[in-house]
Each structure stands twice: as structure tokens, then as C-alpha cells.
Amino acid sequence: MKLHSYAAGEWYQAAASGQRLRHAISGAEVAEISSDGLDFAAMLAYARHTGGPALRQYTFHQRALMLKALAQYLMERKDVFYALSAATGATRTDSWIDIEGGISTLFIFSSKGRREMPNANLMLDGPQEQISRNGTFTAQHIYTPITGVAVQINAFNFPCWGMLEKLAPAFLAGVPTIVKPASQTAYLAELMVRHIIESGILPLGALQLVCGNSGDLLDHMTGQDVVSFTGSAATGIKLKQTPAIVQNATRFFMEADSLNCAILGRDVLPDSAEFELYITEVVREMTVKAGQKCTAIRRVIVPAERLDAVATALSARLSAVTIGDPAQDGVRMGALAGLKQRAAVMDQVAKLAAGNEIIFGSQDINQLAVQGADAANGAFMAPLLLACNDPFNTCAHEVEAFGPVSTLIPYTNEDEAIALAALGKGSLVGSVVTADPMVARTLVVGAAPYHGRMLVLDQQGAAESTGHGSPLAHLIHGGPGRAGGSEEMGGIRGVKHYMQRTALQGSPDMLQAITGSWMQGAQRTLASKHPFQKTFDELAVGDALITAKRLITLRDITDFAELSGDKFYAHMDEAAAQRNPFFEGRVAHGYFLVSLAAGLFVWPDEGPVLANYGLDNLRFAAPVYAGDELQVQFTCKQKVKRETENYGEVRWDTTLVNQRGEVVANYDVLTLVAK
């Protein structure tokens, strides 16, 4: 089978012969790959001129719904991906991470996009900034989608997940993608792209695929493009220096090598629950995906006095791991993705073994017991556990063997453990296993600057822990220094990587017209019809109500105290209230102000307003005393149309002012309003 690329709306097969890709278990040929003859400049032009505009005619919510539809479509067909994934040497669990883990990132970005982004093509960043004395000139940061292309260059270990976790945020932002999977496992990425294209869910030009090398693709990068690279630091650093990328300041995200650590707390005794958790986590990280995970634990940092106990426990567990064809019952670890990958791991093991002792496993592949497959044909290897005697001078802090290989490193106190973790020069993830909160705090505060993610594991969280090695779409994936210095995912943070942040300055009315959000200082429209009588579609941002006034009495304060049970001294005792540094006497309850405000602005009859689902940003700005007279300025601030519901969300700026015109409280009321 010769793999096809998908370029400018057509499937393309190179005429020239290319690299032959082999089954990780049987060694049989699976596919041939070449991108020879592909017109990369034309692909970029197609993405920019067809894909980008097609995507950006939709809102964030509309694109989020497409992602959901795509996720459902792929999930219904997951079996075909599992079948081919077997060729990568993966067990069912390994494939599950890649296939269903990848599809789940589409679901998560779809749901977060609809919950946390506006149903628009522009997004606000933070609150309005007051930059003038009288408020006639103001500022607001905004995000808009960039107009170029997201180019992804992926590693071989997760051909589906690696593609989908980058596609989802780029697509949500409104940016078309060109995927270049690693050659070794590109057959699985190609199969998934075929299904995505066949689904017809994505607009034309939203997704293209390069099977084979990327030719001069990066030579055409501009300042509106993004390159997201996952792979070795050596390749990443080289690609980052592509002249077009440097000259045009193209955004370049790099997820590279990472010598992740797991630190066992000094409080953890053998036979304790946390000790067991630690051993399980390390063994899992060494053997899942045959250790070919960027997040796998490479450095096992343990108290010196526990080194033997940890070595014994790990060795016992590793010796029970059956290696072989994952199609066979009982096989826990499959093969590496290919012979080339195994040779690369063995080269790195040779470097590690020069300064450290191999205490479990053998480099001799001929000694390997393999179940259900011919060891001579597949890319099998044994898990290898090393131990070092000189923790600060071991090459385990430098050498990444991208397979089932970890090194035990002893420490004597927390400062030393932190210093050892830092020798990884920046990692994707670090774990701390301890039952002692103070140990956890010390280790996290010390090691967090060197990590993109940290997992603290104890008994309480163990049953539901997502584990050391699993990046989650909600959380950032990336790390400083050696790990590439970038971030991916992290929920909507990841979408912002594909958007430009702009500081927008102007008059409040102008900024309101541009952003679709009411700005302090902008005109309010005072209509004769109460805003609660208007349907979602009838309402306009800026529609407002200035309510009647209400006099606050001492009786109100005592009645509210009785009704609510809140008899805090500042509401009840004049002398005590006067001793309080913030009050001059008995002060009205803040929650009373919120309640009386509703009494002033609510329209009581049945109508389009369906429910109040909360308040945001509530602040009590000044005390209110008996004798004060309050009034509410109630203004439609934002509308978010729900695509799949017959109502939308309306946010109302709610400002309470007293008889002197001073703001005493300000907040947003959140309502659901029928279309």
C-alpha cells in the first residue's frame, strides 16, 4: 500500500518509490511512503485562501459543534483504527490512548469551546481597562484568529492523538491545518484523515495531509502561520532555525525530549500504600507503549535508604511483564514502533550503561522471551532498569532512551531531590509520591519551575488519578527548556496559540460596536419596553433599565437579619459596628443589596427570561446605611446565542448607586433568555 497525501482537496500518490514501513511485530511490509512531487506552496495557498476563509465564516460555537460531530463520527469507526494500530506494536491499551484518547480531545475542546468562548469570531481577553480620567477613551484586549496555516509535524508514537490534540484547538480558533505525521506510523494517521475527509464535516481546505518528507513546506512560512512540532530536540531546533521561520517570526511550538522524573518522598516506607503507588506508576510508565511516551518516567528519584527496596520491587514487577504480540492473551508490552526506533533506543542505552549499572533486563535481544511472535522479526526489547551511584554526574540527566528504560537515582534530602529533578533542564511532567503534605509542598515549589505539569500522588487521589503519563486536554502539555519551552492544549489556552491578541483602544461606543460587548461609558439605550420583556433576538447589547429608587431603613436590616439568620455584629450592634474600621454604624447586608436590586430590576410577569443562573464579579464597593437611597443601572452587556437550544445566555451589568451617585455594588447577572 502506497500512502497518499491529501493536498488541495485531492488525494495524491507519489509516482516515485519511497520508504518502506514495516509491521512492528511481524516485520511484514505495511506501507510505502513518499511525498515526492507534492506542491507544498500550492497546499499552503489552498489552506490560506480556501480553508481559512471557509472556517472563519463560522463562529467558535459552530466550529465546536463540527468538532463534536467529527468526534462522534470517528468514535463510531474506532475499530478500523484499532485494527491498523496493531501494526505499530501497540497493545489495546496503548491504542486506546492514541485513538480514543485523541478523539476525546475533540469532545473536550468542543465542550469547552461552547462553554468558555463566545458564539462569535472575536474573543475578549480580560476586563475592560480604564485608561482615561472621564472614561471617554478606554481599552480592551481581544483575540482574533490568525489568517495563516497551522502546520503540525508529529512524532511517531501517537499518530492519532498527536494529530487530533493539535487539530482541535487550531480548528476551534478558525485556522486550517496541514498535518505531517512521522513516517514510521503515518499509515494510521493517513487512515484517520481518510475518514475525516469522508465524513464531509470539515469545510474544504480545513485539513491537508503530507505523507513523506515535508519538502520546502517550512520555507513558505509567514508571520500568520504556526508550526507545532513534536519530536526530538535535535530535529526541533533545526526546524526552528528555518530562515523563513526566523525572518517572519513564525510562531513555533516545540514539544521535544523530556527526562521526566518521579520522586518518592522520604516519608514513604516500603509496604505502605504510597510505596505501592510509586512502584505501579513507574512500571506502568516503563511498559505502556513500550516506553515510547514523551511523558514516561525516565528518572526514578528515590531516597538513598530506599534504593534497594525500590529496585527489588520494580524488578519483581518488571519480570512479570509478558512481552509479545499484543493480539495474544496476557501480553502486557508490545514492540517498539520499528527496528529503526529500537536501534536508536539501544544506542542511547549503550550511553546510559557506560556510567550506570543495568540492574534489571538484558540488552541482548536474543535472550528475550517473546510470546506469540518471532523475536527476530519484530522490534521487541526488554524493559531495562539502571541504577546510578553518582547522582549528580550521571548521564541519565542528559540521555533520553525513547523506550522501556529508566534509571534509579538516589537522594539524601529534599533540596537534593529538587536539584536532581532540575538537572533534566526542563521536563513535561514530574511526579511526587508522598503522604506528607509538607514534603509535597517543598518538592513541588522547588521543582515546579522545571516542569509543565506536576502530579502529586497519595492514597486519597489514587483511585481516580489519571496518572503520570497522561496529558489531558484540559491541562497544559509542554515544558520549559529541554522539553521545548512551549505549551499545547490547556483547554482554551491552547486555542489562543492560534489567535492574535490585540490591545484595542478607542471610545466606549466604538469598542462596544467592535466587540459586541457593552463597555463602561458606552451609550445605554433606555427603551420604553422593559428588557426582560424582550426575547433573546430582540435584545440589543446596551439595552438598559434605570430603576426606581429604594430607601434603606433600619427595619430592612433587622428584617433581613431575621429572614436570613445572618446576625453579624456589624449589621446588629451600632457600637460594635462603629468600632469596625470600615463602617460608621450598622451596615446593610451585602446580600440584602443583591436581593433588593433584583426587586428593583426584575419584571415579574411570565416572559422570555427563563432563569437566573448566577452572578459574576460581585463586589461591594461602599457601605450602605439606613437612610441611603439606592437605584440600579441594569444594562445588557453580552449575548451568547446557543446554537442547539431555543434560548441564549444574556449577561447584564448591574450597578447599584446611592443618592450621591457613588457605586455601592457592581456585578454581572447571568440569565437564560428564550429566542
Q: Which residues bind ligand NAP (CB under 6 A)?
A: 153-157, 180, 182-184, 213-214, 230-232, 235, 239, 255-258, 294, 400, 402, 428, 483
Q: State the pairing for strand pair 647-657/663-674.
A: antiparallel
Q: How many helices (H) and strands (E) does the chain have?
A: 21, 28
Least distance CB 272 / ligand NAP (angstroms): 32
Integer CA distances (angstroms), 212 to 176, 216, 233, 236, 493, in order: 20, 12, 20, 17, 31
The smaller minimum CB distance to ligand NAP, of residues 225 and 255, is found at: 255
The smaller minimum CB distance to ligand NAP, of residues 310 and 447, is found at: 447
The smaller minimum CB distance to ligand NAP, of residues 128 and 157, is found at: 157
Least distance CB 363 / ligand NAP (angstroms): 20
In the beta sheet, which residues pair with residue 230? Answer: 255
Q: Is residue 126 packed enough to be buried (19+ CB in 10 Å), middle (13-18) or exposed (0-12)?
A: exposed
Least distance CB 571 / ligand NAP (angstroms): 55
If we measure between CA atoms, which residue out of 430, 343, 357, 446 comes closest to residue 396? Answer: 357
The smaller minimum CB distance to ligand NAP, of residues 489 and 609, is found at: 489
Count of other CB atoms within 10 angstroms of residue 625 = 16
Q: How far apart are CA 186 and CA 96, in angstroms?
A: 17
Catalytic site residue 29?
no
Count of other CB atoms within 10 angstroms of residue 565 = 7
Q: Which helix (H) or strand (E) holds 617?
A: strand 609-620
Instruction: Enter the C-alpha cell of residue 4.
Output: 497518499
Q: How far apart are CA 607 and CA 629, in angstroms?
A: 29
Q: How far apart are CA 96 and CA 75, in angstroms?
A: 11
Residue 498 and residue 637 in contact, taking contact as beta carbons nearer than 8 Å: no
Least distance CB 14 / ligand NAP (angstroms): 13
Q: Which of 294, 414, 636, 649 is catalytic?
A: 294
Q: How far apart are CA 400 and CA 423, in angstroms?
A: 13
If we measure between CA atoms, which residue out of 225, 297, 255, 220 comes closest to residue 38? Answer: 220
The smaller minimum CB distance to ligand NAP, of residues 344 and 598, is found at: 344
Least distance CB 234 / ligand NAP (angstroms): 7
Least distance CB 214 / ligand NAP (angstroms): 4
Least distance CB 23 / ligand NAP (angstroms): 17
The smaller minimum CB distance to ligand NAP, of residues 151 and 417, is found at: 151
Catalytic site residue 160?
no
Least distance CB 8 / ligand NAP (angstroms): 20
Which residue of the chain is nearest ligand NAP when measured via CB? Answer: 231
Beta strands in 294-349 (DSSP E): 297-303
The C-alpha torsion from 410 through 411 and 417 to 422, rounded to 10°, is -60
If we measure between CA atoms, which residue out of 94, 72, 68, 95 comes closest to residue 83? Answer: 95
Q: Which residues of 307-334 are buried (b: 16+ CB within 10 A; e: fewer)?
A: bebbbebbeebbeebebbbbeeeebbbb
Integer CA distances (angstroms), 479 to 153, 402, 502, in order: 18, 17, 26
Angle at 149 between CA 146 and CA 150, to 5 degrees: 100
The smaller minimum CB distance to ligand NAP, of residues 400 and 653, is found at: 400
Instruction: Enter the C-alpha cell of residue 151.
Output: 502546520
The smaller minimum CB distance to ligand NAP, of residues 231 and 531, is found at: 231
Q: Is residue 87 packed enough to be buried (19+ CB in 10 Å), middle (13-18) or exposed (0-12)?
A: buried
Least distance CB 408 / ligand NAP (angstroms): 20
- Rounded to the nearest angstrom, the gap between the alpha carbon of residue 586 and the centroid of all alpha carbons in its chain is 48
Least distance CB 485 / ligand NAP (angstroms): 11
Least distance CB 177 / ligand NAP (angstroms): 14
Collapsed DSSP state (helix, strand, coil) of residue 220? helix
The smaller minimum CB distance to ligand NAP, of residues 182 and 597, is found at: 182
Residue 288 and residue 294 in contact, taking contact as beta carbons nearer than 8 Å: no
Alpha helices, H only, 395-504: 414-422, 437-447, 459-462, 492-496
Q: How far apart are CA 276 and CA 269, in angstroms?
A: 10
The smaller minimum CB distance to ligand NAP, of residues 22 and 306, is found at: 22
Grid look-up 505495511 returns 30
Q: Which of 165, 190, 255, 400 is catalytic?
A: 255
Instruction: Enter the C-alpha cell of residue 112.
Output: 469547552
If we measure between CA atoms, which residue out of 427, 483, 488, 482 comes closest to residue 455? Answer: 427
The smaller minimum CB distance to ligand NAP, of residues 231 and 521, is found at: 231
Q: Which residues are catalytic?
A: 255, 294
